Structure 1
Amino acid sequence: MHGGFGWSVPHQFNMAEVCSRRWASNSATADQTAVIACDAELKAVHHSYASLQEQANRLSNALKAMGVGRGDRVAIVMPQRFETAVAYMAVLQMGAVGMPLSQLFGPDALEFRLQDSEARVALCDGSTLAAVLSVSGQCPNLRTAVGLGLGAVASSAAALDWATLLNQASNRFKPAQTLADEPAVLIYTSGTTGNPKGALIPHRALIGNLTGFVCSQNWFGFDPFDASAPSEAIFWSPADWAWTGGLMDALLPTLYFGRPIVAFNGRFSPQTAFDLMERHKVTHTFLFPTALKAMMKAVPQPKRQYRLNLQAIMSAGEAVGDAVFAYCEKQLGVTVNEMFGQTEINYIVGNCVRLYPARPGSMGKGYPGHRVAVIDDEGQECAVGVPGDVAVHRLDRHGDPDPIFFLGYWKNEAATHGKYTGDPANSWCRTGDMATRDAEGYLWYQGRSDDVFKAAGYRIGPSEIENCLVKHPAVANAAVVPKPDPERGAVVKAYVVLAQEYLDAQKIRDAEGLLALKERLAKALQTHVKGQLAPYEYPKEIEFVDSLPMTTTGKVQRRVLRLQEEARARARQ
């Protein structure tokens, strides 16, 4: 598969051109649905590719009139909705740089990113405008904000009304002829290990994403083995379009292939996810392991309640684990394709059940076009079974440049240089994620390099223990970290969130009853892990919590828990 694959990256390339304009300019596809905008009550409005492009043209003209030019950063602070897709197409076709910001960011997070990026304009909706305006005074480069639903009367120098601006702008726009290597998107890393860094993504990176997207989505409705097969595909994912998982793994590749994507502007819940997928006949999806765990606990037998059309499920962010893997196969009728990537080099490793067996808990293999290896501290490839850093080579197996790579960290050459091992033109890019490789080439996740720890001389990867804990019916989610210990250096500690369904079934009457239940359950969970894993891996201590610290991309912030344990240890001294 790798030997017969080669990249075709044109000198000039623009994400918006291939995701919107080419479909809108073709009479055969212009009226096809691009975005199914769905509100919290699941009421939906279908928007065509022609409408998407027309609105993007108007917004591009409005931004140009504000002084936004090629290379300028435009913040997009909006949830999943049609106008968010319009914003990306408008900014990208101008040659400007879209900077997605999550609607969940607080003032400090917004201020840091707006300041650091030197963003010129912020595009907002009613849920985010106030937060942006509250920090705009500390962001001297931010000229104005554009808000949805303000009304012409409410427009001011600080915030302009979206509808008024677009109504006054022309619906024709001449797009910039961008180079494939020009910057398109500035995405800040989730910041689980320190201050977030802005990763500058070029237009060509979308091409680098496509092999992973097609493989993980089981061809996304296309069938290369049967050209006459139906090509139905409707995509939905709860992944925020402000993150790589929502933007590069969902929105942009779906539009690239001219298919509809569901934009759900509401809170995620297992029941809502099933209702939405049934109502809109969703065929392809990307669901985080945390979402799948919640769905498994809340709706253990979905086929009894829902009629689903699912053809493919991709999952990433954490290890899925064999309990969730089995649930997807038996209860959803789909073998989940786990994928691995990161903001800087996305969609590089994963499973594809159409091409090779998906192994429960495995990250998969390198997708076509990416030369992936597990390397040691010196940059040498590790032997089978030896843990090391997952890395991607700048060149594919034919010696041609891999288009997946980011351009570098925004205003941080030192961090960019530190990401690579070897000569800049012929080097490995380290992910910072640890894995082992088996004899068949599958990678097995061991955790972030700063998540893996030693306890009593043993090297501990938290994901395997967490997966084991989640198999217990009482556990909704779990995180494993080291607890400092004066004799053994560290011991294994688990933070556990109990499943609400389990608690309801216990009919606990008071606080004493809950305390007694947790004491019994802690011993039961320790026994459970002892029976499944190595003796040294069971958690010596279990702390029950209402929730785990999570990033906005759905990853458990083990670092937060680890620092908490270190602070507690210092307080005990």
Structure 2
Amino acid sequence: MVQDHYAERYAAHRWKIPNPFNIAEACCRRWADAPERIAILAEDAEGNRASYSYIELSHAANRLSNALRARGIQVGDRVAVVMPQRFESAVALMALFQLGAVAMPLSTLFGPEAMAYRLQDSGAVAALVDGRGVDTLAAVRADCPDLTTLVCVDCTAPDALDWATLLAAASDEFPCEATTPDDPAVLIYTSGTTGAPKGALVPHRAMLGNLSGFVASQNGFPQVDAVFWSPADWAWTGGLWDALLPTLFFGQPIVAYSGRFSPETAFSLMARYRVTHTFLFPTALKAMMKAFPSPRTQFDLHLRAIMSAGEAVGDAVFDWCQQALGVTVNEMFGQTEINYIVGNSATEWPARPGSMGRAYPGHRVAVIDEAGEVLPAGEEGEVAVHREDIHGDPDPVFFLGYWKNPEATARKYTGPWCRTGDLAVQDADGYLWYKGRADDVFKAAGYRIGPGEVENCLVKHPAVLNAAVVPKPDAERGAVVKAYVVLAEGFDASPALVDALQQHVRGQLAPYEYPKEIEFIDALPMTTTGKVQRRVLRLREIERAGG
């Protein structure tokens, strides 16, 4: 039986934010004095393996910082990092942080339209890319006039610089920029309900704001022999803030695997590297459960903690983790703008299956109404986080705002409360129970989908007059992307057209964004002001799925 230490842990927590503060200093440089301290355990899809110490990580980052500064990269410049999990990705991030530049991680899955929009909107002046994303980036570079520097890792592109050549010619000593906690560190684009994706500008202090939740959800991380691995892409909030950076902050090794996820690969990696702590999406856990009902009979596992986020874990997976893996999964809830704010900790307070958990220490979380008033236990409202903790100290987890979008930033707040857009009920013990989105953003297989970007892409096809994108309930993935399409004059519905529209979206956006199902409709339900009523279509899909 787990003892409930929540009240004392929550009451005792106090934020200590040093000034200056730089993520590279906290996550790399301060550990670069012990040759035996390993930072990255790298493996690719072909099975090639390498081990890199914090000293090697620091020296490589210093060389890259010197090379970028020599090419005019300044404090505050946005620089794209388009790479999968690999040593060079970590090097790039540390180099940019200590340079005072703003790292902009971009998924290698992005198509040309998604890639170009983010590069153009951010005004990125440089990009660091490997073979996974070089073709897409090279294809849109001419449309990104601010992008003057392109550095290629193990690949080539016209008018690009070679990573290895650059680093070989640079010094391995570099003075870290004395950034303040509020200086920007990362720009990550997150889809909105309508229109274009928004760039969330995240400061250096957010690193510290994540830690209380990370430590709790990982059952007391770190331990002396802790090894972390997660299949979450480091270009996403989950991979960056929930895996890579907090692991490095505590000076522990993280496994960087650049191949595709599969249940067998996941278990093999965890056994081979004696992984003790992990972050696994519910969809990944479901696939692992079905492929290996009794994994410990086949794999030598050393797991002590599993954090899961992105959607509800569900009773079946929760029970399987306890029985088959010997670990109680800790569900977590957060956003790019305010990450790691709510969750469970199996060693600190009892988990309640199906609950999002409680506010992590240092975060003042409540369920509020439209006016920003805190609702009593049992009433449904929107999950929100107060700018100050219970002691009146500023919560460091907050983002700075949306890039070049002060109106959207203002809409995120009601007084001191930052709204998440997620609906929940809080019980008398502080546990939150998720009820759904307050807007039209949804998650499919753990990925956050903004319908506006997909709809915009569909409408660019000559056959599409209008489109609305909604989630269709799916037992395996929680939801899949479905598009309702109104055809332009002169086009007729057909299986061939469905396939053409799907391929059109897949070619422009990330693969997980393309509509798995398309239904042609004569007219979309609209409000009197001309807005698409996606809620009507969502309810239709729920009814078709049997409620």
Q: TM-score range by the shorter chain?
A: 0.7 to 0.9
1:403 paired with 2:384, answer: no
1:256-267 residue pairs with structure 2 within 5 A? 256-267=249-260
- Secondary structure of residue in 2 paired with 1:99: strand
Alignment CA distance shift 1:358-1:265 (3 Å):
same
1:304 Cα deviation from its structure 2 partner: 1.7
Corresponding residue of 1:371: 364
Partners of 1:245 and 1:480 in 2: how far apart?
Answer: 20
User: Retained in 1: the 8 A contact 2:193–2:439?
Assistant: no
User: Retained in 2: the 8 A contact 1:374–1:382?
Assistant: yes
Partners of 1:97 and 1:181 in 2: how far apart?
Answer: 12
Corresponding residue of 1:20: 28
User: Retained in 1: the 8 A contact 2:19–2:181?
Assistant: yes
1:168-567 residue pairs with structure 2 within 5 A? 168-191=169-192, 194-222=195-223, 231-422=224-415, 427-450=416-439, 470=475, 476-479=476-479, 567=521
Alignment CA distance shift 1:452-1:407 (3 Å):
closer
- Secondary structure of residue in 2 paired with 1:124: strand
Corresponding residue of 1:91: 96
1:447 Cα deviation from its structure 2 partner: 1.4
1:78 paired with 2:83, answer: yes
TM-score normalised by the chain length of structure 1: 0.77
Structure 2 unmatched ranges of 5 or more: 1-8, 443-471, 485-501, 526-536, 538-547
User: Retained in 2: the 8 A contact 1:57–1:172?
Assistant: yes
Corresponding residue of 1:125: 130
Partners of 1:565 and 1:356 in 2: how far apart?
Answer: 46
Corresponding residue of 1:140: 145
Alignment CA distance shift 1:438-1:569 (3 Å):
farther
Corresponding residue of 2:451: none
Q: Identity, % of aligned pairs?
A: 61
User: Retained in 1: the 8 A contact 2:187–2:199?
Assistant: yes
1:114 paired with 2:107, answer: no
Residues 446-501 of structure 1, C-alpha deviations (whole Å, 9 max, x = no match):
11113699xxxxxxxxxxx96xx84xxxxx334389999xxxxxxxxxxxxxxxxx
Supply the AA of the counterpart residue of 2:311: E
Residues 40-91 of structure 1, C-alpha deviations (whole Å, 9 max, x = no match):
1333211000000000000001100110000000100000000000000000
- Secondary structure of residue in 2 paired with 1:198: strand
User: Retained in 2: the 8 A contact 1:10–1:180?
Assistant: yes
- Secondary structure of residue in 2 paired with 1:9: coil
1:232 Cα deviation from its structure 2 partner: 1.7
Asked which structure has the greater RCO (Cα within 8 Å, sep 6+), the reply is: 2
Partners of 2:482 and 2:147 in 1: how far apart?
Answer: 43
1:48 paired with 2:41, answer: no
Alignment CA distance shift 1:478-1:248 (3 Å):
closer
What is the total number of aligned residue pairs between the two structures?
Answer: 469
1:569 Cα deviation from its structure 2 partner: 7.0
Residues 142-185 of structure 1, C-alpha deviations (whole Å, 9 max, x = no match):
002100124xxx675x3111000111111111111111100000
Corresponding residue of 1:512: none
1:221 Cα deviation from its structure 2 partner: 3.7
Supply the AA of the counterpart residue of 2:432: L
Partners of 2:162 and 2:389 in 1: how far apart?
Answer: 47
1:297 Cα deviation from its structure 2 partner: 1.3
1:359 Cα deviation from its structure 2 partner: 1.1
1:31 Cα deviation from its structure 2 partner: 3.0
User: Retained in 1: the 8 A contact 2:355–2:432?
Assistant: yes
Partners of 2:79 and 2:441 in 1: how far apart?
Answer: 37
Supply the AA of the counterpart residue of 1:430: R
Supply the AA of the counterpart residue of 1:440: D
User: Retained in 2: the 8 A contact 1:148–1:161?
Assistant: yes
Alignment CA distance shift 1:149-1:213 (3 Å):
same
Name which one, 1 or 2, has greater alpha-carbon Rg: 1
User: Retained in 2: the 8 A contact 1:31–1:50?
Assistant: no
- Secondary structure of residue in 2 paired with 1:147: strand
* Stretch moving more, 352-361 or 86-95: 352-361
